[in-house]
Amino acid sequence: MVDHMAALKAGMRVIVRHRIPGPLPLTDALGQLLTLDDISATVQTKRGDVVILRADIVAAKEVPPAPLPRTRRLGPAPVSDS
């Protein structure tokens, strides 16, 4: 059995593909790896913490930091009448 989490450590930003029950059998958790032990991994995502059993992990890897938020375009600055 391949250990997809072997190279990952707590604090890394990761994506973890894992099995879930239901009609779509796989999903991804993207976020910061909080904990990792022999039984499970916990990933802090935008929607909250996700606890994933290691037996359900299909793939995992470190990913780059999230991009900075884009600034909103307000249009051209008004021209003064000086």
Mean per-residue pLDDT over the chain, rounded: 91
Greater confidence (67 vs 60) lies with 60
| Pair 32, 44: CB distance under 8 Å | yes
Which amino acid type is present at position 75? G
Q: How confident is the model at residue 5 (pLDDT cuts 50, 70, 90)?
A: confident
pLDDT for the residue 49: 99
pLDDT for the residue 6: 87
Residue 71 CA to chain centroid, in angstroms?
Answer: 23
Report the range of poorest mean pLDDT among 8-12, 44-48, 57-61, 77-81.
77-81
Q: How many CB atoms lie within 10 A of CB 4?
A: 17
Rounded to two decimals, what is the model's pTM?
A: 0.79
Confidence check: pLDDT of 47 > 90: yes
Within the chain, strands assigned E span: 13-19, 26-36, 40-45, 48-53, 57-62
φ, ψ dihedrals at 14, nearest 5°: -135, 165
